[in-house]
Amino acid sequence: MNYQEQDSHNEQKAPLRIAVFISGAGSNLQALIDAIENRQLLGVEIVLVVSNKANAYGLQRALDHKLPAIYLPWKLREEAEARALALMKLFQVDLIVLAGWLRIFSADFIEQFPLRMINLHPALLPEDGADTYITSDGSIIPALRGLHVVRRAIEANLRITGSTVHYVISEVDAGPVISHAEVPIRAGDTEETLHERLKEREHRLVVEAIREIAQSLQITRQK
């Protein structure tokens, strides 16, 4: 039994409590903060921001909005995951959002959050877990998983890439897809310019994905 099942029968119309894990600037975190504060994302509350880097600007974003934030060193994964799990229990987290998080969790940790952990991936991932992705214009491109996928898309001379929001499973970048968006690669694009355009789409995608999850969980709780 995962820890969330213990009190699930007492949940009625409580907000979706999310923890956002970051490793850098936290622009997707900011998109979530803005959506919540502007009431574009109702029934959702950021209860904790976690970073494996002490100097990550995303921590400052959290503090600027009076959100709990913590630096969690990630030298020994087993030890770090034990602390992370304790934090998730302490803050009663319903959903973990990996937004620019540059560490891989163990299968044991992931199993504690079945369909309760999502990731933003800066490439297009197919819904069937295949090694290729069919774009809206019928082109077949490789499904880029792992690290440095923005650079790899440019090096492969792809004309289209994109971003995907998916649930996290033990296999890297292979969980069920929630949503994705295509982004054209322009002549002269660098890794930096392409990444910035991908982030613009990610900001909308992550808000839409969490809205969908929050609504589906609210329906489940009401049954």
- Per-residue pLDDT of 100-116, as tens digits, reads 999 999 999 999 999 99
Q: Quote the percentage of the chain above a pLDDT of 70.
A: 92
Sequence length of the chain is 223
Q: Is the pLDDT of residue 218 over 80?
A: no
Tell me which residues are annotated as active site. 121
User: What is the CB-side half-sphere exposure of residue 68 using CA atoms within 13 A?
Assistant: 13
CATH class of 15-125+161-183+199-222: alpha beta
Are 32 and 62 in contact, with CB atoms under 8 Å apart? Answer: no
The pTM of the full predicted model, rounded to 2 decimals, is 0.91
Q: Is the pLDDT of residue 30 over 80?
A: yes
At residue 219, the pLDDT reads 56
Q: Nearest 5°: CA angle at 154, between 176 and 55? A: 70
Confidence of residue 223 (pLDDT cuts 50, 70, 90): low
Mean pLDDT of the chain: 93
Complete DSSP assignment for 113-163: STT-EEEEESS---TT--SEEE-TTS-EEE---SS-HHHHHHHTT-SEEEE
- Per-residue pLDDT of 144-153, as tens digits, reads 999 999 999 9
- Per-residue pLDDT of 64-85, as tens digits, reads 999 999 999 999 999 999 999 9
Are 134 and 128 in contact, with CB atoms under 8 Å apart? Answer: no
